[in-house]
Amino acid sequence: MNAPAWLTALVSALMIFVAAYSAWRLAISRVWDRATDHEADILHLAIGIAAAGLVADWAHTLPRSVWTTLFALGGIYFAIRTFRAWADGSVRAKLLAHTACCAIVVYMFLAGVAPTTINGSTAGQYTMAGMDGMILDETITYPTIGLIFVVGLCFYAVSVLNQITPLSTETAEPAETGTGGLMLAPRSVDVCRVVIVLVLAYAILTKLV
């Protein structure tokens, strides 16, 4: 896929913003006496940093093996939490989404999703073929799985957008933690979730097309 450099920079910066915003939510929730979904915020923080490095070299942080291990452990944690909360439909759906998200990120690291090595193209083609120092931008392994994940991520993004309560009709939600306050900007978490899944789909597609 021929993607302009500014788009890659924008997408990676957007992920850094999501990570920073999630960290801010975790830090400010007690100061403002507001409850927050700590599991979602921590997951968004980690994915924001990891996904930024999958899109742009300048945002690279931890080695791929470390990120893979962290998200594999996170997926196991959320899978156990899903099993234990299976009777509660609303909680189960959220935890299933967290589990699936961790699994997709693990796939991305194992399958070779990474910043392109060819400026403006991730089509997996040889440049300067037959010449010394030729450049190769490799496509991901198991592309069919990647395509399935892309379709699933897009459908999930639409589903989340469809469930976001309009500002004029939203009612205050009780706190889920022990802070005793109202939820801290619950719609913003859904917006971050949509941004994340669309960026993950974009990162996979740039290596498939």
For residue 175, is pLDDT > 50?
no
Residue 203, domain member (yes or no): yes
Rounded Cα–Cα distance for residues 175 and 163 (Å): 20
Q: Using CB atoms within 10 A of its CB, is residue 144 exposed (0-12), middle (13-18) or buried (19+)?
A: exposed
CB-CB contact of 209 with 28 (8 Å): no
Residue 125, domain member (yes or no): no
Residue 92, domain member (yes or no): yes
Domain extent, residue 159, equals: 5-115+139-208
Query: What is the pLDDT at residue 29?
Result: 82
Number of domains in the chain: 1
Residue 20, domain member (yes or no): yes
Q: What is the pTM of this model?
A: 0.82
CA nearest to 156, candidates 106, 190, 189, 110? 190
**How confident is the model over 121-173, as pLDDT tens digits?**
434 433 444 444 444 456 678 889 999 999 999 999 999 999 886 655 444 44
Residue 104, domain member (yes or no): yes
Query: What is the pLDDT at residue 128?
Result: 41
CA nearest to 126, candidates 139, 112, 107, 111? 139
Residue 133, domain member (yes or no): no
Residue 18, domain member (yes or no): yes
For residue 207, is pLDDT > 80?
yes
For residue 174, is pLDDT > 60?
no
Question: Which residue matches tokens 């897009």?
Answer: 154
- Which is more confidently placed, 105 or 170? 105
User: Residue 117: pLDDT band by 50, 70, 90 thresholds?
Assistant: low
Where do runs of H (alpha helix) occur along the chain?
5-28, 38-55, 64-84, 89-111, 143-163, 186-208
* 136 DSSP 8-state letter: E
Residue 36, domain member (yes or no): yes
User: Residue 187: pLDDT band by 50, 70, 90 thresholds?
Assistant: confident
**How confident is the model over 19-77, as pLDDT tens digits?**
999 999 988 887 887 788 899 999 999 999 999 999 998 899 999 999 999 999 999 99
* 184 DSSP 8-state letter: S
Please compute the mean of the pLDDT values over residues 80-101 and round it to a whole number: 92
Query: What is the pLDDT at residue 16?
Result: 96
For residue 92, is pLDDT > 70?
yes
Query: What is the pLDDT at residue 5?
Result: 80
